[in-house]
Amino acid sequence: MTLRPMEATSRLPRLRDRMTEAGCDGLLVTSLTNIRYLTGFSGSAAMLMVTHDSSMLTTDGRYRTQATEQLGAAGVEAIIEIGLPAGQQDALAAFTRKTGGRRVGLEAGAITWAAQRSLETVLAGVELVATAGLVESLRRVKDEGEQDRIEAAADIADAALAEVAGMIGGGCSEADLALALDTAMRRRGAQGSAFETIVAAGPNGAKPHARPTDRPIRPGEMVVIDFGATVDGYRSDMTRTVCRGEPDGPQARRMYEVVLASQAAGVAAVRPGLRAAEVDGACRSVISEAGWADAFVHGTGHGVGIDIHEAPAVSATSADTLEEASVVTVEPGVYLPGEGGVRIEDTVVVTAEGCRAVTRYPKDLILA
Ligand code: ZN
Ligand code: ZN
């Protein structure tokens, strides 16, 4: 599929509006994912100072060429300053004073105590204030290019699972299946996995974030498979639970049916303007009615984008409201220690009327 371009050039102007609302005439962006979102730069070390008319990206010598190329490709105009960490701070300070930054926001969730102390010295005379979520609030709504990248990642993940699911019938181990999935996604064009792939069979399935082991998947066991791909920096996230043959144990099939109904109720609830907590409530009430309220031990979902977990949160305590073009997961689960677990997860794009799932692998419990 051809990926539509991203609207990177509108991001800094929109951020400046948020800065004004927050009473800042400068923002020092230290979250690397926020820097990537704003500028296209994907290196592992950088800072970005944004003032009202201008911006400066600082990084080190490893990224001299890459920084110029990526900002150019994104169409973002910023001064690029290459140097050692101390030199970068000095350059940022000079730039801030020159461009009139007197009240500068720091990203409270993305700066170390040591860095803040050091900036207080370098930026003496500039008022530093804590900010939260200024860039993240922009990232909650995905442009068409971002949606295409997430959807392409989801397509790759669907195809990878279809390619390797047959291994389960052969009694492969959890780790074998995880490796095969990761490899299949790479071969199909993913930059990598969206996060560490989870394959949890039988009793391991009761641990929502189990790591794959060398344990073979036995007949009658349910297997929780939670994974995703990354395409051009954007991630997908999907969980399927499948069974090697007929499920063992008296509760297995009922667990699956309850979680399936819960997940469908959550997806059906998603629409713009709805409080995200209500999606959680829609999923949770189905599981509670089945008597497993205490076995659904995590929130219903999360936003997905450059980060695998980003705003908005989809949980009982979330204060977020869903917006059109947000991308979130719906992933209820039931976990019974010693027995096993079931989780079913889709990544969905919020549309004007409801939502559209981009993860489309079938939800059949028993492998054909
Ligand atoms: Zn997941
Ligand atoms: Zn997830």
> To which H or E segment does residue 199 belong?
strand 198-201
103 CA to centre of ligand 2 in angstroms: 37
Name the residue type at position 292.
W
pLDDT digits (tens, 9 = 90+) for 46-77: 999 999 999 999 999 999 999 999 999 999 99
Quote the DSSP letter at residue 359: -
Q: What is the pLDDT of residue 121?
A: 96
pLDDT digits (tens, 9 = 90+) for 320-358: 999 999 999 999 999 999 999 999 999 999 999 999 999
186 CA to centre of ligand 2 in angstroms: 20
* Whether the Cβ atoms of residue 363 and residue 278 lie closer than 8 Å to each other: no
Residue 80 has pLDDT above 70, yes or no: yes
21 CA to centre of ligand 1 in angstroms: 35
Name the residue type at position 106.
L
Name the residue type at position 328.
V
Packing angle between helix 85-98 and helix 113-122, nearest 10 degrees? 50
Per the listing, tokens 């069979």 go with 201
What is the pLDDT of the chain when averaged over all its residues? 96
**What domains, with CATH codes, occur in the chain?**
8-139 (3.40.350.10), 144-357 (3.90.230.10)
Q: Answer whether 0.75 is exceeded by the pTM.
A: yes
50 vs 72: CA distance, rounded Å: 17
Residue 1 has pLDDT above 80, yes or no: no
Joined together, the tokens standing for residue 9 give 């050039």
Q: What percent of the chain has pLDDT over 90?
A: 97
330 CA to centre of ligand 1 in angstroms: 9
- Say whether 259 sits in a helix, a strand or coil: helix
Q: Report how far Cα 173 is from the mean position of its chain's Cα atoms.
A: 27
Q: What is the pLDDT of residue 368?
A: 57
pLDDT digits (tens, 9 = 90+) for 144-154: 999 999 999 99
314 CA to centre of ligand 2 in angstroms: 10
- Could you give the strand order of the β-sheet that contains 301-303, starting from the edge strand earlier in sequence? 310-314, 301-303, 327-330, 346-350, 355-357
Would you say how long the chain is, in residues? Answer: 368
> Residue 226: nearest ligand to its CA?
1
Helix locations, the chain, DSSP H: 11-21, 32-39, 64-74, 85-98, 113-122, 134-139, 144-164, 166-169, 174-187, 252-269, 276-289
